[in-house]
């Protein structure tokens, strides 16, 4: 598969939202906080991505491949959001967490609990030193395992190494080995009780998120 990486544009936003919804179908937090077939949820994601495209610190990247019907046209197969480093004053580490207004249909209590804990953990682990943060990475299910995610990961890691800073992300336990291959190490876990809910139908009683840090190293080792 021929893969090309480029910056996302406003014309890509609808596709990026669709990729998110398709890539996280076996993710209890995503399903409970952002229920599918809900227009308010789709609009929320569309608007959030659109607004972030104008943020100089938010690097929305896509990987494309030529379409089968017309090789001169492209289709987006994967998307990532890398947040550029910005030194954080020590005084802001203990500042209250600001969360967005969630869309209608969202489990607000769960969203507030989960995302506020993610933010607090990241601040506690990383601040005030600068770092690259992989906030989102998603690949279309039919294109997973074909190298698109690797291209998106390398984009941010090479910049982290050029600047001599760490990289940070949150992963599922299943995804952890992939990130370990790129040099990330687990530093902490967040465990959320699902209170008997099982939107994925897998029988899981808890949702686990793994916090991972990668030290800066020579980018030549990524190739």
pLDDT score of 158 more than 50: yes
Q: Please indicate, yes or no, whether the overall pTM of this predicted structure exceeds 0.85.
A: yes
Mean pLDDT of the chain: 93
The whole-number pLDDT of residue 220 equals: 45
pLDDT tier for residue 90 given thresholds of 50, 70 and 90: low
Query: Distance between CA 110 and CA 115 in Å, rounded?
Result: 8
> Which positions ≥6 away from 161 have C-beta within 8 Å?
216, 217, 218, 219, 222
How far apart are the C-alpha atoms of 214 and 41, rounded to whole Å?
33
Question: SS3 of 110, please?
Answer: helix
- Name the pLDDT band for 72 (thresholds 50, 70, 90): confident
* Residue extents of the structural domains in the chain: 4-222
Q: Of 2-16, 57-71, 88-102, give the lowest mean pLDDT range.
A: 88-102
Does the pLDDT at position 134 exceed 80? yes
Compute the average pLDDT of residues 12-25.
Answer: 97
The pLDDT of residue 140: 96
- Tell me whether the omega of the peptide bond preceding residue 128 falls within 30 degrees of 0, making it cis: yes
* pLDDT average, residue stretch 118-146: 95
CB 28 within 8 A of CB 198: yes
Give the phi and the psi of residue 9 in degrees, each rounded to 5: -125, 170
What average pLDDT does range 146-156 have in this prediction?
97
pLDDT at 221 (0 to 100) = 47
pLDDT exceeding 70 applies to what percent of the chain? 94
Pick the CATH number of 4-222 from 3.40.50.740, 3.80.10.10, 3.90.1150.10, 3.40.630.30: 3.40.630.30
Q: How far apart are CA 34 and CA 21, in angstroms?
A: 9
């Amino acid at each position: 598969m021929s893969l090309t990486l480029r910056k996302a544009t406003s014309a890509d936003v609808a596709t990026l939202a669709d990729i998110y919804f398709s890539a996280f179908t076996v993710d209890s937090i995503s399903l409970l906080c952002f229920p599918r077939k809900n227009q308010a949820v789709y609009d929320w994601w569309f608007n959030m991505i659109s607004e972030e495209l104008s943020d100089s610190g938010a690097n929305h990247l896509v990987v494309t491949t030529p379409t089968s019907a017309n090789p001169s046209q492209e289709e987006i197969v994967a998307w990532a959001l890398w947040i550029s480093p910005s030194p954080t004053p020590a005084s802001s580490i203990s500042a209250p967490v600001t969360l967005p207004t969630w869309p209608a249909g969202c489990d607000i209590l769960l969203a507030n609990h989960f995302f506020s804990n993610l933010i607090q953990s990241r601040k506690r682990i990383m601040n005030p030193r600068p770092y690259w943060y992989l906030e989102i990475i998603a690949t279309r299910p039919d294109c997973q395992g074909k190298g698109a995610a690797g291209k998106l990961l390398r984009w941010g890691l090479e910049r982290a190494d050029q600047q001599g800073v760490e990289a940070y992300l949150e992963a599922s336990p299943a995804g952890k080995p992939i990130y370990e291959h790129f040099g990330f190490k687990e530093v902490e876990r967040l465990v959320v009780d699902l209170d008997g809910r099982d939107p994925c139908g897998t029988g899981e009683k808890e949702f686990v998120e793994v916090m991972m840090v990668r030290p800066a190293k020579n980018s030549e080792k990524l190739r």
